[in-house]
């Protein structure tokens, strides 16, 4: 009888953990006009997303309505999508689950031919629950917060860049605010990158701020 009870309790705990891992935090109400949105519900990745192709590169695929990113044989995983026209101020919110990687990062890139080299800052999410605003060129964190959200759970992260001001929210809670000239200037598109394994992304929405 005790064995049956213990098995039932273990099964209940496992089902609860699985349900919590699959639960997606509700969308945040951010101001502005939508200029890019993707919920990855199609059978394959929209061709507007650009990434390196071949055998010795990272893999990007749609699995159960989610973008699965796998560094695979690549040195890292980088994917980007251009806006129809550059904007000065913008926000982006997306669902992130860094379940088997070192980190997932995202940010805007400036106009030019090499998006991967045209980022000044990005927002990095680590499996430990750390969220950091990074100076890409300087290779340093400008500011860090710890949400303590497990890597197996979805977290909805919103990044707003307006003038020289940056704000970062996680699951509708403000976690970071700072001012830096690195966030100023034209933004030509959105770039995602992952390092050290696999991770998942979903429900991307970019808005142009007024």
User: pLDDT, tens digit, for every residue of 73-117?
Assistant: 999 999 999 999 999 999 999 999 999 999 999 999 999 999 999
Q: CATH topology for 2-208? A: Jelly Rolls (2.60.120)
Domain boundaries, the chain: 2-208
Q: What is the mean pLDDT of residues 144-157?
A: 98
Percent of the chain with pLDDT over 70: 90
Beta bridge partners of 91: 160, 207
Tens-place pLDDT, residues 169-190: 999 999 999 999 999 999 999 9
- For CA atoms 35, 36, 41, 42, the dihedral sign is positive
Task: Express each pLDDT in 8-24 by its tens digit.
Answer: 443 444 334 445 568 99
């Amino acid at each position: 009888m005790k064995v049956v009870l213990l098995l039932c309790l273990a099964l209940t705990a496992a089902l609860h953990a699985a349900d919590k891992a699959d639960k997606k935090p509700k969308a945040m109400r951010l101001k502005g006009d939508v200029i890019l949105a993707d919920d990855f519900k199609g059978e394959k990745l929209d061709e507007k997303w650009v990434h390196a192709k071949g055998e010795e590169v990272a893999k990007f695929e749609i699995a159960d309505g989610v973008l699965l990113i796998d560094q695979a044989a690549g040195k890292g995983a980088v994917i980007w999508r251009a806006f129809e026209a550059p904007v000065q101020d913008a926000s982006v919110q997306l669902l992130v689950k860094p379940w088997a990687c070192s980190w997932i990062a995202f940010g805007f890139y400036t106009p030019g031919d090499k998006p991967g080299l045209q980022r000044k800052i990005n927002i990095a999410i680590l499996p430990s629950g750390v969220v950091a605003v990074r100076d890409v060129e300087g290779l340093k964190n400008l500011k860090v917060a710890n949400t303590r959200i497990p890597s197996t759970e979805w977290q909805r992260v919103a990044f707003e860049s307006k003038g020289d001001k940056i704000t970062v929210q996680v699951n509708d809670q403000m976690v970071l605010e700072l001012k830096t000239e690195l966030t100023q200037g034209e933004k030509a598109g959105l770039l995602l990158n992952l390092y050290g394994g696999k991770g998942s992304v979903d429900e991307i929405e970019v808005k142009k701020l007024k």
